[in-house]
Structure formats: structure tokens, C-alpha cells
Structure 1
Amino acid sequence: MSKFINSPFVQELSKITFRLYDHGWDERNGGNVSYRLTEEEVTPYEDTKKVLKTIPIDFDGKDLAGMYFLVTGTGRYFKNVIDFPERDAGLVRIADDGKSVDLLWGFNDGGRPTSEFPTHLMGHKTRLKMNPDQRVIMHCHPTNLIAMTFTQKLDEREITRILWKMQTESLVVFPEGVGILPWMVPGTTTIGEATAAKLEHFGSVIWPQHGLFASGSSIDEAFGLIETIEKAAQIWSIIQQQGGKIEQTITDKDLSDLAKAFHVTPREGYLDV
């Protein structure tokens, strides 16, 4: 049997973590990714059948018992995952009691899942209720989006409208808008619960002065959502650098027509039409 390190799942995680770093969105040990795998995807690999150790988690994951997650490690630099995936990532299975995970592969230097793993699990749990194909949670630090949280009111409707109007693609990719939390201490149950509550309504959640938490049914979908939101924020930032005066824009009527053409439904009350 092939070793799990050569699986398409580890390869995907290795590539995307480097791309997140290369975009400047995951400096140092900033950012984390979790990727839900199925039992059918894991069991063909002989080196995932033995429990290497049991790691307690600060979350009641009983509803996710038996699920497998490929997750980045705490304190690990995203630029290194592509070269050392078996050190900087691990495959875990949620234990039956939901209070710990069984490490099946990876973290071969004694590491453990990201400190944000409970928040990831809360997010997966919430999104799975709405989409059984939910697979990926990504947290990163997109530069221009973070900058917006210093200068704009943390109003979900207003920031969503700004991002929608920065490029035609935005409304199509995230018609539900973006969720926003107040500033909160990361790595806590409190921010995990608040993020999960927002994920009932949005595919992504802004953590002000910190970063973005995004979900998706695949690596590409979650990464593409982040790319699109950050690109819109970058365009807005460039407009401000050019003086902030807008001569023409995408109107609310334009956005309504766009939604009809692409068969998406904008969040109710967000368009003035």
C-alpha cells in the first residue's frame, strides 16, 4: 500500500499551505487548515491504522465522533509544511467520547493540532448541518481585509456591500455576504462558539484586526472564497490610495441583475432595490 504521505490529501494540504504563505496571508506560524476525510479515503493506507497517541481536546466533539481530519500543527510555519508534512501536519480521528482525538499519522516530532482546532471542529459541526459535503476550514491573515477592519465600522451589511461592489465576481462567490465578530482572544472556546454561530449564516467570518475564517466543500472552494474576498479588499485599498473618489461603480440594480443571471440569492436586505 502507498504511504499516506503520498496521498492526494497530504499533497493538497502541502500545496495550499505554501500558497497561503506565498500570498503573504500566513506569516510565521499564523493560520491553520483542517480537512475532513472519509473512512473510505483513509483506510487504504496501512500507515493510518495504528493509534500513535491520544490527544485531549478542549471541545465536546461527540457529534463528530469517528470523523477523520487532516490538520496543521500548532506553532508550525506554513512555508515548511510542503517540505515536512509528516512533521507539521497530522491525521486525527475524533474519539467516541468526543473529548480527545486519536493520532493516526503525522506530528512525528511530538506535535499536536493547531490551538484553533476546537474552533475548526465547531465550524465543521455547524456547516455539516447545512451541507453534508462540508470538508475544509481555513484560517489565514489576508492583509487588505485586515486593514479594512481598522478603518471601517464592523457592520456586516456595509462591509459586504463594499466587497460586492469592488468586482463583479464577489456577489457570485459569496452572495450570503461575510460575517464579522468583535475582536476576541483567539484559541478560546468563546471565539469558537461565536464563529460557529456566524457560520450558520455565512461561509466566512472576519476576525477583526486578525484574519478570516472560511469554509468550503473542498480545498479549492475554501481557498477561492478567501482569494475573492481579499481581492475585493485589495481593490478597495487601492481606490483609497488613489484618493478614494469613485467616478463609476457597480450599482445595486447591477448587483440584482447579476444575481439573477448567475442564479444566486443575495442576503435579504443587503441591496437597496
Structure 2
Amino acid sequence: MKSILENRPELARRVAEVAEVAGYLWQKGWAERNGGNITVNVTAYADDAVRSMAPISDPVPFGMTLPHLKGCYFFCKGTNRRMRDLARRPMENGSVIRILDDCASYEIIADNPVKPTSELASHLAMQDRMIATGNGYTAAVHTHPIDLIAMTHNPAFLAKDVLTNLLWSMIPETRAFCPKGLGIVPYKMPSSTELAEATKKPAGGATSSFTEEQLRAAIENYNKIVKDQYDPDFHKGNLKGYIDLEYIESHDDVGICISPRKASLHHTTGGVKINTEAEVIGTNGKAISGLWAAGEVTGGIHAGNRLGGNAEADVFTFGKIAGHSAAAAE
């Protein structure tokens, strides 16, 4: 059977982007087994031939009425399908669906009758909200960042603004791009319409959008912190990333791109001090006999910023040095 992607390069490119993201989620361990889902609005790529395609499934209700989705088309990861397989063969592990005129049911039109994600109601509720607010976003991603999920099991982190303040303290730059903080939806049964309804609402003290004035105020506040080299909320210095609003406003071809940010505790900055032989340095300034370290457990030159990618070169270089040093010590 001819694929819906044939002779539709823009649609094919968008599906390829979904596959690329699926690969990242799998590689990072954020979509273990068949967990995690992606739904992307592809209505902009639905030509007359797509709109006239006969369905390859019966109509399926998704449990709620979403008026802004009438006649929309979505590419969805299939339920019980793995991200690793979506990355390799997206049209075998996902499908294109059409929302029917009742705004409460869908039908599959291509390429295979792969039933969409079990979280479809929540995904479509978010899509309906995005269209209603005109924010321009087209993708809903459900994933499982392990550290963040672990934090949500501690009631202390679910109190208002706790995770927001943690995010801002870890990565101060996000105060400019996430000025309203994080929203938290109280626990609801996965795949339920209750979860979908909760997802549509502004949650946890966060609002769905912010004004130009609020963005300016957030940036000006952040610029002041950078200029003063002191964050009064988190008592931090060594801050970079001043945003030149005057330059931006004086050039028509320069602007600010806003993207959503969510917290992910992927490391802690700092660690033990080592020398060039990867030996751990004690509080007396001398090497501790028989103790070597490499990678993100170490501080030193990388501790002024997030370790992240720096640690890969660090651990390969100093990991080898530590191994040779330990072997030589024997």
C-alpha cells in the first residue's frame, strides 16, 4: 500500500522529526519499554487527497468533546509500541488519525491501523488547548524523566512553587524563559478522561501564557541579577547570559524565541577535587592514597557550570588516567 508520506515531503519531514525525538527519549532512558507517547498536529500538511482518504478503522470515541479539533489530523505513536521502534520505523509504530465532525471521536487513515496512544484523550486535550490559546505549538510529548518522577513521589516537592524554585536555583537562566514556573497536575488515573480534563487547566499556580510586559520584567530582573553577580533568592554568583534588550528592540531581524522548559535533575554540580593523575585531593591539599575519581563526581574546572556534556570528555580522559594510575599503584 502506498504510504501517506509519498510525495508529501513536509509531512515526511515532520514524521522524521518525531522519529528523531523518539530516538532521543529512548537513548536517554526517558521512555522505557513501551512507555511514553508523542502526538503531533499535522493538519497543515493535509491536502485534498489526504482529506478524501477513506478510513482504515471504525470511528473511535476518545471520551470528551474538543471543539477546536474538528477536522484536524494528528500523527500519533501507537499504544504498546516502543520508542526505539518508533524511531526506526515510524509508520509501522504510529498512525495518522482524523478527528471527526463530532469533535469526540477519531478514525485512522494511514498507513496501518495502529491504535493511537492510550493517553490520547490527554494529548488531544492539550492539542485543543494549544489551538484555543493560539500559542503555535503542535506537539504533545509524554515521557518519563526518572529523577523528576522520583521527586513527584515526595509530597514536599509537590507544594506550590517548590519545583519551580528548585529549577531556577539549578539553572538560573530558566527564570527568563520560564517566568511563571512549573504546573503540577494532581495524580489521576493514567489514560482517564479525568487526567485529560486536569491537563487542560492551568495547574500548580502556573498560568498558560504570559504577556510581553511580564516577559520584559522577567528578563530585566534576570539582567539585574547577572549585572550584580548575585541572586538574592538563591544566594548565587558567577552568573552569565545577559540579554541585550536594547539591541533586540533596535533590530527588526532579531527577536526572542520562547520554548517551554521543565525541570530535570540530571546531575549535581561540583564534587571531589582531583589532580592530573586523577587522584582525589583531601582537605589537607594532598592526594589520598589509593583513591581516584573521574567524571561527574569530580569538581574543578567544570564546576562553574553544568557538567553535562563536559563530563563525557572528562570521564573518558580522566577515567583512563585513573585506571592507569590505579594499575601502576598495584
TM surpasses 0.5: yes
1:201 is matched with: 207
1:114 matched to 2:150 = no
- TM-score (normalizing by structure 1): 0.70
Does the CA contact (< 8 Å) of 1:166 and 1:235 recur in 2?
no
| Residue 53 (structure 1) aligns with | 57
* Residue matched to 2:76: 71
Which residue of structure 2 aligns with residue 225 of structure 1?
261
How many percent identity over aligned positions?
A: 26
Cα distance 1:31–1:190, how it changes in 2: closer, same or farther (>3 A)?
Answer: same
RMSD: 3.1
SS at match of 2:92: helix
Alignment counterpart, residue 21 of structure 1, candidates 11, 23, 26: 26
Aligned residues: 218
Matched residue of 2:58: which SS?
Answer: strand
Question: In the alignment, which of 17, 42, 46 is matched to residue 46 of structure 2?
Answer: 42
The 1:22/1:33 distance shift into structure 2, 3 A limit, reads same
| Correspondence for 1:139 | 142
* Structure 1 CA distance for aligned equivalents of residues 51 and 115 of structure 2: 18
Where structure 2 has 5 or more consecutive residues not aligned to the other structure, the ranges are: 210-257, 272-295, 298-303, 305-330
SS at match of 2:75: strand
How far apart are residue 2 of structure 1 and its match? 8.1
Q: Name the aligned partner's letter for residue 152 of structure 2.
A: T
4+ aligned runs moved over 6 Å, structure 1: 44-48
CA gap 1:238/1:37 in 2 versus in 1, 3 angstroms: farther
Q: Does 1:11 align with 2:16?
A: yes
Query: In structure 2, what is the equivalent of residue 215 of structure 1?
Result: none
Paired residue secondary structure (1:8):
helix
Q: What is the distance in 2 between the residues matched to 1:33 and 1:169?
A: 27
1:160 corresponding residue in structure 2: 164
Is 1:96 aligned with 2:113?
no
Equivalent position of 1:265 in the other structure: none
- Aligned position for 1:253: none
Q: Relative CO higher for 1 or 2, CA cutoff 8 Å, sep ≥ 6?
A: 1
CA distance in 2, matches of 1:133, 1:142: 25
Does 2:195 match 1:191?
Answer: yes
1:177 partner SS: coil
- The answer for unaligned runs of 5 or more in structure 1 is 204-220, 243-248, 250-273
Using the TM superposition, give the Cα deviation of residue 32 of structure 1 relative to its aligned residue in structure 2, in angstroms.
0.6
The structure whose Rg is larger is: 2
Residue 58 of structure 1 contacts residue 118 of structure 1 at CA under 8 Å; is this kept in 2?
yes
Alpha carbons 1:70, 1:92 under 8 Å: kept: yes
Distance between the aligned counterparts of 1:47 and 1:66, measured in 2?
A: 9
TM-superposed deviation, 1:50: 3.2
Between Structure 1 and Structure 2, which shows a larger proportion of strand residues? 1
Question: In 2, distance between residues paired with 1:171 and 1:132?
Answer: 20
Measured after TM superposition, the shift of residue 104 of structure 1 is 1.7
Give 1:46 deviation, angstroms. Answer: 6.2
